[in-house]
Amino acid sequence: MSIVKINVLTVPAEQREELEKRFAARAGAVEGSDGFEWFELLRPVEGTDTYLVYTRWRSEEDFEKWRSNMGATHGQGAGGGAGGGAQRPAATGATLWSFEVVQSAGPKEA
């Protein structure tokens, strides 16, 4: 059964564009990882400053393996600098939610 990890990021309005740029610059960084199934960066549309980073994995073990590799090579979160220098984090807070997929559905084929 797949698992879902949702990173809940508090992002001030003035940092939204920067956060999205940093994620765009990392495009492809997770897609080739063993056990990776899906990624989405969700932008809030009203009433909140919370972004959601949704990833789906084949197993907890696959996620933990990717996480440990990313920590060793890219720093934590979307705040790492491309040139090795530290950048100010775009998010002011982060929480990781974990879920098991119990049911799933997609569109019916015509």
59-81, pLDDT tens digit by residue?
999 999 999 987 555 544 444 44
- pLDDT above 50: residue 82: no
- DSSP H helices in the chain: 16-25, 60-74
- Please say whether the beta carbons of 77 and 94 come within 8 A: yes
- Tokens standing for residue 45: 């549309």
- Determine the pLDDT at residue 34: 94
13-23, pLDDT tens digit by residue?
999 999 999 99
Mean pLDDT value of segment 38-57: 94
Which amino acid is residue 12, in one-letter code? P
What global pTM score does this model have? Answer: 0.80
